[in-house]
Amino acid sequence: MTEDQPRDAFVSVHSGAFQVYDKPLEDSMSSLIAGILGRPEIYCFAGDWRGVQYLLPDRKSSNAADAVVEMFDASSMRCEALTTFGKLMTAIPTGQIAKAVGVTEFDRWRADHDVPALSPGTCVPPERYAFLGGNGQLSNHPISAQVHVGLAAKLRWKMQQLGLKPGDQLPTDFFQV
């Protein structure tokens, strides 16, 4: 963030294609993802329109330009190194971050669904998570990023409890409470 923007301000890039979270959203997303990944110090500072979350090893890392940013995709439950914090933050004011998260597809989705912008902390997840055999078809409605990540974790946990792996046939009662 620059000197004229408080560190805890919410920043939306290109109508919500990329969102830098404010402190309350950072705290709740960090806590949720820390529990999923078993990494208590993880710091989630941003998310994109697809529900991908952007992480640092800890909050202190946000002061280090060379800190490695990881992206966590709840729909596949994959977490992988992406770039450095300095490079990612430089891509925000230039608009390059919007290109990196697929702004053309985002604009098409917004036009098709008459959504002018995503509200803070929302995303457009796939209709069916990749680990459940989803094909990448996007939902017709935005949802809370917290709900998206939490639901994905719960479904993945249920699969593990049943001894299922991604790609396995799901029991007919899988989605029943």
**Tens digits of per-residue pLDDT, 55-75?**
999 999 999 999 999 999 999
pTM listed for this prediction: 0.92
Residues 91-114: tens digit of each pLDDT: 999 999 999 999 999 999 999 999
CA trace torsion 124, 129, 134, 140 (10° rounding): -20
Q: Which residues on adjacent β-strands are paired with residue 19?
A: 12, 47
**Spatial distance between the Cα atoms of 21 and 114, rounded to a whole number of angstroms:** 24
Contacts of 103 (CB under 8 A, 6+ apart): 14, 17
pLDDT classification of 18: cutoffs 50, 70, 90: very high
**Spatial distance between the Cα atoms of 163 and 153, rounded to a whole number of angstroms:** 15
Reading the block at residue 104, the tokens are: 């053309």
